[in-house]
A and B are shown apart, each in its own frame.
With several copies, the nearest count.
Chain A
Amino acid sequence: MDIYRITKEPIDVASALVAIGDDRAGAQALFLGTVRNEFAGRASRGLYYDAYEPLAEKELRRIGDELKQDFGALHVVLIHRIGELPLGEVSVLVAVSAGHRTEAFAAAREGIDRIKSRVPIWKKEHWDDGQDAWHDDPEAFSPK
C-alpha cells in the first residue's frame, strides 16, 4: 500500500511500516527528518512548515511513482507534517520496501532529495534569539 499525505498530526511510523509490508520485500528503508536545535551554527528552538497542500500531495504521489519506476520500490509512503514543530519532532517520513537493500536505500535517499527539491513546502526557522526567518528568503534569511 502507498500513502502520500500532508498532515498537521504527528507522523505515525508504525502505520507507515504496515503500509509498505510485502512478502516479496527483503528490505525496508526509512528516513525521518527531525527538527534540529541549530541551523548553520545558529541556535534554533523549532520550525514552522507551510505547504500548498493539494499540489504538494500530487507531487508526493508523482515522486512515489518515480521511486517504483526508477528503483523497483514495491511500496512507498511519503508524509510531510506542517504547522509548528518543536525540537525533535518528525517533520517528514520516507518509507520504502524493495526486494534488496541497495534498491531500498537508493529509493529512500532519492525520495527525500526529491521532496526537498520539488514539493511546495516551506519552513520558517524560529531562532533561539526570538527572530524568525523563512528558509531561502534571499532578503531575510541570514543563518549566522
Chain B
Amino acid sequence: MNSNTVTVTTLFFSFAADRMNGRRKTFDLPRGTTLGDMVHQYLEPVLGPESRNWLYSVNEEWASWDTHLENGDEIAVIPPVSGG
C-alpha cells in the first residue's frame, strides 16, 4: 500500500456473506474511489446487479454513492433486511 491507495474493510451479511464466501474482506482501492465505484467494480460482479439497489454504510452510518472512501473505512453491505 502506498499513499495513492486506501485500504477498506467490507462486512457482508445474510446471503451476501454466503456469496462472498465470508463476512469480512479487505480491499485496496485507488485514492479517490467512491462507494459507488467500489460497489460497481468489486461487489456487483459477485453479488449481482441487484446489489446496486441495496443500502450501504460507511463507519456505522448510512452512506451515499458519492461518499469518498478513506483509509481504514469500514463498509457494510446491507441486502434487503428481514428482521422481526
Which bucket holds chain B's interface residue count? 20 to 34
Interface 9-mer from B9-17, B36-44, B65-73? B9-17
Chain A residues near B61 (CB-CB < 8 A): 55, 58
Taken residue by residue from 44 to 84, chain B's Cβ proximity to chain A (1 for < 8 Å, 0 otherwise) reads as 00000010000101001110000000000000101111111
Asked if B18 lies at the interface with its beta carbon under 8 angstroms from chain A, I say yes
Known: A54-B60, A136-B79, A138-B50. A115 touches B84 (CB 8 A): yes
Q: Interface majority SS on B: helix, strand, loop or mixed?
A: mixed
* Residues of chain B within 8 A of A123, CB atoms compared: 82-84
From A56, A92, A122, A139, contact of B14 by CB (8 A): A122
Q: Can you give 6 contacting A-B residue pairs, CB < 8 Å?
A: A50-B14, A52-B78, A115-B83, A116-B81, A119-B83, A136-B79
A positions within 8 Å CB-CB of B = 33, 49-52, 54-56, 58, 80, 91-92, 112, 115-124, 134-140
